[in-house]
């Protein structure tokens, strides 16, 4: 075709080309429209595969949230469909493992003060728990303390024993990091001997922190701490071969500080990491502690 035959109004040029090709102009546009979703799916698949490799335990909801944080328009149902087609659904956690709690001791037990309460700010309710981590030929134990409002791990300790000083070390880290005001905080745990011990209770009493314990054989009373432990096992511990306790302490510390607290998206926080969630609270001038204990749901 000559240059004169293709110059001028673009719609006229397309119409002329369609006449020469024996197709309608409407059919020409429909052809390109039909390929647009496929191209968009290809781009989205690429992004999903990248995120799925980086976050092996993210389900479609967290992948969708991460895509939106990157500025992409993503529909959760569409993301689920593409992940199913590409076999990218998240890895599942192993079954629940035996607990490390020994509640058969002679120390005093206190009531659960957190039933029917929900925190409205930081440092109103802390939750604590202990789990085990397997090395090549031995076990070590991890104690953690979390803020129930932000889900952030604010204290942790790992050692090769289950003595009370393990839990005390994690508590001391939390107190040093947060410095809670007296009589504004509830500390909740299971009935394990570590949390009922005199040393642990003395730490809490000295800071005027109220003590709360779960009911017998009811892990749901400490669900936030249990949830973190399951996340830790699924996304860090399971499948790892820690050669030494120092190796375990280094890798688990990295997971807590740089993955769980800083990067991992939490559905309860509007799909934000705890550090970002707390930073937004401070940026909005909300005090770290609202001055009251958690408000009642009843």
Q: How many CB atoms lie within 10 A of CB 148?
A: 23
The predicted model gives 243-257 an average pLDDT of 96
Given this model, what pLDDT does residue 25 score?
64
DSSP 8-state class, residue 128: E
- What mean pLDDT value characterizes the chain? 81
The predicted model gives 128-142 an average pLDDT of 88
Q: Which of 142, 136, 165, 106 is nearest to 229 (CA)?
A: 142
**Alpha-carbon distance 132 to 6, whole Å?**
75
How many CA within 13 A on the CB side of residue 281? 20
Q: How confident is the model at residue 80 (pLDDT cuts 50, 70, 90)?
A: confident
Given this model, what pLDDT does residue 77 score?
87
Q: How confident is the model at residue 158 (pLDDT cuts 50, 70, 90)?
A: very high
Contact 248, 140 (CB under 8 A): yes
Considering the segment(s) 117-296 as one domain, its CATH architecture is 2-Layer Sandwich (3.30)
- The single residue listed with the structure tokens 């020994």 is 102
Q: Which of 177, 122, 154, 147 is nearest to 292 (CA)?
A: 122
Q: Which of 216, 203, 186 is nearest to 99 (CA)?
A: 216
The predicted model gives 21-32 an average pLDDT of 62
Q: Which of 222, 223, 219, 249 is nearest to 236 (CA)?
A: 249
SS3 state of residue 159? strand
The predicted model gives 273-289 an average pLDDT of 82
pLDDT in tens, 283-293: 886 544 444 45
**Alpha-carbon distance 150 to 110, whole Å?**
25
Sheet containing 125-134: give its strands across: 153-159, 139-147, 125-134, 186-189, 210-213
Residue ranges, CATH 3.30.420.10, the chain: 117-296
Q: Which region among 83-87, 160-164, 197-201 has the lowest average model confidence (pLDDT)?
A: 83-87
* pTM, full prediction: 0.67
- The single residue listed with the structure tokens 């508590």 is 171
Given this model, what pLDDT does residue 260 score?
97
Given this model, what pLDDT does residue 162 score?
87
Query: How many percent of the chain have pLDDT more than 70?
Result: 73
Classify strands 153-159 and 125-134 as parallel, antiparallel or unpaired. Answer: unpaired
SS3 state of residue 29? helix
Q: Which of 81, 90, 187 is nearest to 129 (CA)?
A: 187
């Amino acid at each position: 075709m000559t240059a004169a035959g293709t110059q001028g109004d673009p719609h006229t040029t397309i119409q002329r080309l369609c006449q020469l090709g024996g197709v309608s102009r409407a059919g020409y546009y429909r052809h390109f429209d039909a390929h647009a979703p496929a191209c968009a799916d290809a781009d989205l698949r690429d992004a999903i595969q990248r995120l799925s490799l980086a976050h092996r335990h993210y389900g479609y909801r967290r992948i969708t949230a991460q895509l939106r944080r990157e500025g992409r328009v993503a529909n959760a149902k569409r993301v689920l469909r593409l992940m199913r087609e590409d076999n990218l659904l998240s890895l599942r956690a192993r079954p629940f493992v035996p607990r490390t709690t020994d509640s058969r001791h002679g120390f005093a037990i206190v009531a659960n003060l957190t039933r029917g309460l929900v925190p409205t700010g930081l440092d109103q309710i802390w939750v604590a728990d202990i789990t085990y981590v397997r090395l090549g030929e031995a076990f070590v134990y991890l104690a953690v303390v979390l803020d129930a409002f932000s889900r952030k791990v604010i204290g942790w300790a790992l050692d090769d024993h289950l003595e009370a000083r393990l839990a005390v070390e994690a508590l001391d880290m939390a107190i040093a990091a947060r410095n809670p005001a007296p009589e504004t905080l509830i500390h909740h745990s299971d009935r394990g001997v570590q949390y009922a011990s005199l040393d642990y209770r003395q730490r809490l009493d000295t800071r005027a922190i109220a003590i709360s314990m779960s009911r017998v054989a009811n892990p749901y009373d400490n669900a936030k701490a249990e949830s973190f432990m399951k996340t830790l096992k699924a996304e860090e511990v399971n499948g790892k071969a820690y050669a030494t306790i120092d190796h375990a302490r280094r890798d688990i510390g990295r997971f807590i500080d740089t993955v769980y607290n800083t990067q991992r998206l939490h559905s309860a926080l509007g799909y934000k990491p705890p550090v970002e969630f707390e930073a937004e609270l401070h940026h909005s001038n909300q005090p770290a502690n609202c001055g009251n204990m958690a408000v009642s749901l009843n």
